[in-house]
């Protein structure tokens, strides 16, 4: 189902459910709770009920995650085994779920997806070079109609069988993730407790050159991998609390819809980061990570994913 409108309701919390507000103009949704920690949704058909993703991060959940990160970051550098400013190349295992020809994305599309990720994290769109790069390690292909059509319901079985490597290896799964979702991710702090479930799932049609209008440049995987590396949405906690815990992304009350020239939803200095990969804009609007986001990803990597 192609997107026909630009509105979905932000996801509700899994551990501490929050009362849903009026549907904001969002295209991605945050998360933490069960297997998936962060989910990206695409526009829904007008008139249909908004989908409430059961995996949203509340302010208390973010605060708890930050306390865990602070405690792990206090360990001696030798125990962390990697400095936060090191260059990191992440091995990537791509798992293609398909039903016959449906969803059996070609190798060339996978190569374009990896290139999109390397360009995004390398600052090729005009943002900061985060110091992260991605190298394709292996591609697996699984012809299973049920797994392809409903990866959420079959997530544990899929990942238990297919997951490769450890906390520092990105397992990227492609499938038909449903009528509105574009993908979901796990946060780094879940990897130790549920190692087989660690990874990113994206809609096969969101890879570069895919048929989903406005979401066809591979930035669903870029966005979800940001969560996998420890980033929150730029609008986390809105104008209050501590936001996304990154100093050089201005606070943002409302997620971006489409690709506006500019918007400013908080009284604090700075316009909304509408071109940031961790906002909710169209793929054509996304161009950059910030230096602060790069530093946070390295700190989280050192605490949770470094070998």
Residue 175 lies in a domain: yes
224 included as an active-site residue:
yes
The parent domain of residue 111 ranges over 38-305
Residue 5 lies in a domain: no
- Per-residue pLDDT at 65: 77
- Per-residue pLDDT at 212: 94
Residue 15 tokens read as 């551990």
Q: Which residues contact 209 (CB under 8 A, 6 or more apart)?
A: 109, 112, 216
- Per-residue pLDDT at 38: 57
CATH number of 42's domain: 3.40.390.10
- Per-residue pLDDT at 242: 83
Q: How far is CA 6 from CA 9, 50, 65, 131, 166, in A?
A: 10, 11, 31, 33, 37
Q: Which of 79, 224, 241, 252 is catalytic?
A: 224
Residue 269 lies in a domain: yes
> Of 198, 37, 208, 30, nearest to 112 (Cα)?
208
The DSSP code for 255 is -
Report mean pLDDT in 10-residue bins for the chain, 307 residues: 26 28 32 45 39 53 76 52 68 98 98 98 95 98 98 96 97 91 91 94 97 95 96 90 89 91 93 94 95 94 89
- Per-residue pLDDT at 67: 77
Q: How far apart are CA 93 and CA 287, in angstroms?
A: 25
- Per-residue pLDDT at 74: 54
Residue 11 lies in a domain: no
Residue 32 lies in a domain: no
Residue 63 lies in a domain: yes
What are the b/e assignments for 137-150, b being 16+ CB within 10 Å?
eeeeebebeebbbe
pTM over 0.75: yes
Residue 208 lies in a domain: yes
- Per-residue pLDDT at 179: 73
Total structural domains in the chain?
1
Query: Please, what is the average pLDDT of the chain?
Result: 80
Residue 6 lies in a domain: no
Q: Which residues contact 20 (CB under 8 A, 6 or more apart)?
A: 9, 10, 12, 50, 52
Cα-Cα-Cα-Cα dihedral sign, residues 79, 89, 304, 125 = positive
């Amino acid at each position: 189902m192609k997107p026909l409108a630009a509105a979905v309701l932000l996801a509700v919390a899994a551990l501490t459910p929050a009362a849903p507000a009026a549907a904001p103009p969002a295209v991605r949704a945050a998360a933490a709770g069960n297997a998936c920690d962060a989910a990206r949704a695409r526009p829904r058909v007008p008139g249909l009920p908004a989908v409430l993703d059961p995996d949203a991060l509340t302010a208390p959940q973010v605060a708890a995650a930050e306390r865990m990160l602070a405690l792990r970051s206090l360990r001696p550098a030798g125990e962390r085994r990697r400095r936060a400013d090191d260059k990191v190349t992440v091995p990537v295992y791509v798992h293609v779920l398909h039903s016959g020809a449906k969803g059996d994305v070609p190798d060339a599309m996978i190569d374009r997806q990896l290139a999109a990720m390397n360009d995004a994290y390398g600052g090729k769109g005009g943002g900061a070079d985060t110091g992260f790069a991605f190298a394709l390690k292996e591609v697996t292909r699984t012809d299973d109609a049920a797994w392809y059509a409903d990866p959420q319901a079959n997530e544990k079985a899929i990942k238990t069988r297919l997951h490769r490597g450890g906390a520092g290896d990105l397992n990227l799964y492609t499938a038909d993730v449903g009528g509105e979702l574009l993908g979901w991710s796990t946060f780094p702090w879940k990897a130790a407790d549920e190692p087989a479930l660690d990874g990113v799932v994206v809609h096969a049609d969101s890879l570069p050159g895919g048929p989903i209008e406005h979401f066809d440049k591979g930035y669903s995987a870029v966005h979800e991998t940001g969560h996998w590396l420890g980033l929150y949405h730029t609008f986390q906690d809105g104008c209050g609390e501590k936001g996304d815990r990154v100093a050089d992304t201005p606070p943002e009350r409302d997620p971006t819809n489409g690709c506006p020239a500019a918007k400013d939803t908080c009284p604090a200095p700075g316009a909304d980061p509408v071109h940031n990969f961790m906002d909710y804009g169209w793929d054509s609007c996304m161009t950059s990570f910030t230096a602060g986001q790069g530093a946070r990803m390295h700190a989280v990597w050192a605490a949770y994913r470094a070998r």
